[in-house]
Amino acid sequence: MQVLVRDAYGRPLKSLRILVTAECNYRCFFCHLEGDPLGAPLRPGLKPPLLSPEDYGVIAEAAYKLGISSFKITGGEPLVRKDIVDIVGSISSSAPGSDISMTTNGFFLDVRARSLADAGLKRVNVSIHSLRRDKYRFITGVDGLERGVRGVKVAVESGLRVKINALILKGVNDDEIFDLVEFARNMGATLQLIELIPVGLGAKLLESHKFPLAVVEEMFKAMGAKVRWRSLHNRPIYELPNGALVEVVSSHGNPIFCAGCDRLRLDASGNLSPCINWRGERINIVKAIREAKSRDEAVKKVMGALLEANTMRRPYYLYTVKTGRLKPSTPSFDIKDLRIRETPKRRLYFKILETGS
């Protein structure tokens, strides 16, 4: 699909991450809450859904008309919503041919996978941070390993492409990495290793629990792994000699990661933001949808909100030049002339480089 919108740094806008609920049946002690500054995930039943499946259809149509063709449904835990299949179907029919995926803890996946696939879901990420029952319960607060594994099996059998999400924590599950590699391979899934980030509940854990995945990447290379790069966040994907596929997500302090970001984020309260690290004002689209006199009007208003949110987008981590002695004609330079800078946590506006009707 043609890219219609870019941010001030030339990065395309191609995907929308949709948090459909702030409720979760798990209590992972590192939860980043998708960048939603709530303080902690909500127990199921505490906050009725604000946006309906029809609302998500309006949002998907607006995004699709701006060139967005990738939708990631997340939470909280999206499967605690009884209407989650209707949400997927509404997005699918409103943005035909789009890549619709979901991130879930997998606890309810075994009973939902087939209907989700029939509704238009293409891919699912299932969070399994340990293969040891006691450790899984310690990490998540729930004795749910067996349910999660069963969810993975049913998802694969339902024709969904499956990725196992494993956030690696120093001193907790860093000794299970190659067990997880083999587990994912045997299940017919890709493994996604994730580094801890200082967002949400993980903000207090960075120093004590962050495990550097660069160590594992060097091990993969020593094993003779082939590497290719995914355009989203410039993520490396390693193909190991045994056929296992391992994607690595290392975002903290990583300008290369930020340079490949192509998404906006929508939280369960209808707020648009440009980044999981964003702590500035957000753009709420609920009023625009509710006050519209027709679906077409609602779509146009949401399109305007998405374009406004795009003006906020900028890499959170930036390379900046220290010396100022670079020659204009020199296409490359020494890395020691650069430093990493973190974007201030405030609202910033930038010009849209390209728009399309």
Hey, what domains does the chain have and what are their CATH numbers? 15-266 (3.20.20.70)
Q: Are strands 161-167 and 99-104 parallel, antiparallel or unpaired?
A: unpaired
| pLDDT class of 348 with cuts at 50, 70, 90 | very low
Dist. CA 286–CA 192, nearest whole Å: 34
pTM to 2 decimals? 0.90
Dist. CA 190–CA 349, nearest whole Å: 37
Q: Are strands 99-104 and 283-284 parallel, antiparallel or unpaired?
A: unpaired
Q: State the pLDDT at residue 337.
A: 53
Q: State the pLDDT at residue 343.
A: 61
DSSP at 41 = P
Strands of the chain (E only): list them: 15-19, 70-74, 99-104, 123-127, 161-167, 190-194, 226-230, 235-239, 245-249, 263-266, 271-273, 283-284, 317-321, 338-342
Q: What is the mean pLDDT of residues 172-194?
A: 98
Of residues 353 and 112, more confidence is placed in: 112
Please count the CA atoms within 13 angstroms of the CA of 339 that sit on its side-chain side: 7
Q: Are strands 338-342 and 317-321 parallel, antiparallel or unpaired?
A: antiparallel
Cβ–Cβ < 8 Å for 254, 277: no
Nearest to 262 by CA among 235, 228, 236: 235
Of residues 67 and 36, more confidence is placed in: 67
